[in-house]
C-alpha cells in the first residue's frame, strides 16, 4: 500500500519532530483508532510512548488479555493495564436506566484515565485516536440536536489535564485508518472487528449490571461470534453480538426444570449505522448457535433472534 506507506513515513517524521525528547501518553481501548494511533506513534518514538489501558471489566471474553498480548508482548509497547472492574461494577450497582449507565461509565472512565495520566509527570503530550469524521462531528454538534442516545466514546480529554494533543489520524477516513493499521502490522482480525460501543457490556446487560451477568453474556457472545467466523459469515455482517435480558424463563434440561436468563442474538447489515437491516441467516445456522449457547453457557436457557430493523429499533438494545 504505497499511499499509506508514504503517510506513515511522513507521520513518523513529523511525530519525531513534534515530540523531540518528551514523553507521550495515550488511552488504548483496543479499538481500531486508538490502536492504529498507538502503533504509529510507537513506530516514531518507541518507548517514549506509554499506553494506558483502562480495563473496565465490561469487555468481551479475554479481550483485556488479547490487548495486552498484542500491544505489550508483540509490539513491545509500554502498556499499563488498569484493572478497574470492581470500580465500574460498584458504580453501576442498582442502576438500570441506559443513559444513567452511559453517564456513570463515561465519567468514571475519564476520572480513572485522568488519575493514571497524572502519574506521568514528565509526559507533555496526550495522543488521541481522533479521525476525520470525529472532527466533522464535533464541529457540527448544535445545541438543537436531539439526543437519542448519548454516543460518547469513553475517554474524552479530562479538562484539568495539561497536555498538548497529538492526533496523527485527524485527516484520515476510517478505511484509510484501517489501511495504515494493516501496513503497521496490526492483525487483520483486529482491524476489521465489528464496532463495539464505549460503554461495552454495560449496555448489553440490560438493566442492572453484575459480574455474574457479564460473565454469562461474555460466554454466549463468544460462541455466536466464533461461529460466525467459522462459517465465514463474520465479514458479511456489519455488527453482531449478544444481549442479556433481565428476564428468567422456565426450561427443561434432561429430567430437570431450569429457570434461567434469556439472551437475544443481534446481527445487522448497514453502511452508516444510522439505518440497518437484520442479517438473513439460515435457520439451521441459528439453531446451531442456540444449541451451543444453551448447552455450554450455564445461566441461559432460552435464546431469541432480534429481527427488528433500525429504525424503529436501534442496533443496541439500550
Ligand atoms: P444504535 O444502538 O444507536 O447504535 O443504533 C449505532 C452504533 O453505535 C454504537 N453505539 C455506541 N458507541 N458509545 C459508543 O461508542 C455508545 O454509547 C454507543 N451506543 C451505541 C452501536 O454499537 C452501533 O455500532
Instruction: Find the CATH number of the domain harbouring 271.
Output: 3.30.300.10
| Domain termination residue (choose one: 168, 191, 214) | 191
Confidence of residue 154 (pLDDT cuts 50, 70, 90): very low
Is the pLDDT reported for residue 187 higher than 80?
Answer: yes
Task: Please tell me whether residues 23 and 73 are part of one structural domain.
Answer: yes
- When mean pLDDT is compared across 42-46, 113-117, 140-144, 182-186, the lowest value belongs to 140-144
Task: Please tell me whether residues 158 and 210 are part of one structural domain.
Answer: no
**Average pLDDT, stretch 105-117?**
96
Contact indicator for 109, 155 with CB cutoff of 8 Å? yes
Task: Please tell me whether residues 216 and 172 are part of one structural domain.
Answer: no
**Average pLDDT, stretch 274-298?**
98
**Is 94 known to sit in a ligand binding site?**
no
| Domain termination residue (choose one: 136, 167, 191) | 191
- Indicate whether 165 belongs to any domain: yes
Task: Please tell me whether residues 143 and 272 are part of one structural domain.
Answer: no
The structural domain count of the chain equals 2
Task: Please tell me whether residues 82 and 123 are part of one structural domain.
Answer: yes
How many angstroms separate the alpha carbon of residue 152 from the centre of ligand 1?
9
**Average pLDDT, stretch 170-176?**
96
> Distance between CA 310 and CA 70 in Å, rounded?
35
> Distance between CA 183 and CA 202 in Å, rounded?
33
- Indicate whether 318 belongs to any domain: no
Q: Strand, coil or helix: what is 111?
A: helix
ipTM above 0.95, yes or no: yes
Confidence of residue 239 (pLDDT cuts 50, 70, 90): very high
Task: Please tell me whether residues 271 and 223 are part of one structural domain.
Answer: yes
Task: Please tell me whether residues 142 and 183 are part of one structural domain.
Answer: yes
> Distance between CA 184 and CA 43 in Å, rounded?
8
Owning domain of residue 273: 204-305
**Average pLDDT, stretch 28-51?**
97
* Mean pLDDT across the chain: 94
CA-nearest residue, atom 20 of ligand 1? 197
Residue 125: the pLDDT is 97
Cα–Cα–Cα angle for 72, 73, 79, nearest 5°?
10
Task: Please tell me whether residues 231 and 152 are part of one structural domain.
Answer: no
Report the percentage of the chain scoring pLDDT > 70: 94
Alpha helices in 21-167 (DSSP H): 32-45, 63-67, 85-92, 98-117, 132-140
Instruction: Specify the CATH number for the domain of residue 124.
Output: 3.40.50.620
Residue 137: the pLDDT is 82
**Is 139 known to sit in a ligand binding site?**
no
Q: CA separation (Å) from 20 to 14, 16, 24, 115, 155?
A: 10, 6, 10, 25, 25
Residue 162: the pLDDT is 83
> Distance between CA 182 and CA 41 in Å, rounded?
15
- Please enumerate in sequence order all residues whose Cβ is within 8 A of that of 228, keeping only pairs 6 or more positions apart, or say none: 234, 237, 240, 267
> Distance between CA 42 and CA 247 in Å, rounded?
46
- Indicate whether 95 belongs to any domain: yes
Task: Show the cell assigned to 108.
Answer: 468514571
**Average pLDDT, stretch 220-245?**
98
> Distance between CA 151 and CA 156 in Å, rounded?
12
Q: Which atom of ligand 1 is nearest to the CA of 239?
A: 24
Task: Please tell me whether residues 34 and 147 are part of one structural domain.
Answer: yes
Task: Please tell me whether residues 84 and 32 are part of one structural domain.
Answer: yes
Task: Please tell me whether residues 51 and 76 are part of one structural domain.
Answer: yes
Q: Which atom of ligand 1 is nearest to the CA of 196?
A: 22
Which helix H or strand E contains 27, and what residues bound it?
strand 23-27
Is the pLDDT reported for residue 144 higher than 70?
Answer: no
Is the pLDDT reported for residue 148 higher than 90?
Answer: no
- Model pTM score: 0.94
How many angstroms separate the alpha carbon of residue 195 from the centre of ligand 1?
8
Amino acid at each position: 500500500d504505497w499511499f499509506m506507506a508514504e503517510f506513515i513515513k511522513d507521520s513518523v517524521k513529523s511525530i519525531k519532530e513534534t515530540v523531540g525528547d518528551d514523553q507521550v501518553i495515550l488511552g488504548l481501548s483496543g479499538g481500531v483508532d486508538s490502536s492504529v494511533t498507538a502503533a504509529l506513534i510507537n513506530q516514531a518514538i518507541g518507548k517514549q510512548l506509554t499506553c494506558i489501558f483502562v480495563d473496565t471489566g465490561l469487555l468481551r471474553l479475554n479481550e483485556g488479555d488479547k490487548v495486552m498480548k498484542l500491544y505489550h508482548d508483540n509490539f513491545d509497547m509500554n502498556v499499563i493495564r488498569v484493572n478497574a472492574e470492581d470500580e465500574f461494577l460498584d458504580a453501576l450497582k442498582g442502576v438500570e436506566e441506559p443513559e444513567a449507565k452511559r453517564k456513570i461509565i463515561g465519567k468514571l472512565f475519564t476520572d480513572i484515565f485522568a488519575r493514571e495520566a497524572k502519574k506521568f509527570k514528565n509526559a507533555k503530550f496526550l495522543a488521541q485516536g481522533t479521525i476525520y469524521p470525529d472532527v466533522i462531528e464535533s464541529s457540527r454538534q448544535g445545541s438543537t440536536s436531539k439526543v437519542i442516545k448519548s454516543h460518547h466514546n469513553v475517554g474524552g480529554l479530562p479538562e484539568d489535564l495539561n497536555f498538548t494533543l497529538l492526533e496523527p489520524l485527524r485527516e484520515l477516513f476510517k478505511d484509510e485508518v484501517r489501511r495504515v493499521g494493516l501496513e503497521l502490522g496490526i492483525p487483520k482480525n483486529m482491524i476489521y472487528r465489528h464496532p463495539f460501543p464505549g460503554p461495552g457490556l454495560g449496555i448489553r446487560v440490560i438493566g442492572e449490571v453484575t459480574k455474574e451477568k457479564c460473565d454469562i453474556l461474555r460466554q454466549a457472545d463468544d460462541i455466536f461470534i466464533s461461529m460466525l467466523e467459522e462459517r465465514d459469515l463474520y465479514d458479511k455482517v456489519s455488527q453482531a453480538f449478544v444481549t442479556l435480558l433481565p428476564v428468567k424463563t422456565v426450561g427443561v434440561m434432561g429430567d430437570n426444570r431450569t429457570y434461567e436468563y434469556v439472551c437475544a442474538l443481534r446481527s445487522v447489515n448497514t453502511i452508516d449505522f444510522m439505518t440497518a437491516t437484520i442479517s438473513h441467516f439460515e435457520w439451521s445456522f441459528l439453531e446451531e448457535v442456540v444449541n451451543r449457547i444453551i448447552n455450554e453457557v450455564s445461566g441461559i436457557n432460552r435464546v431469541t433472534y432480534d429481527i427488528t430493523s433500525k429504525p424503529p429499533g436501534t442496533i443496541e438494545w439500550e
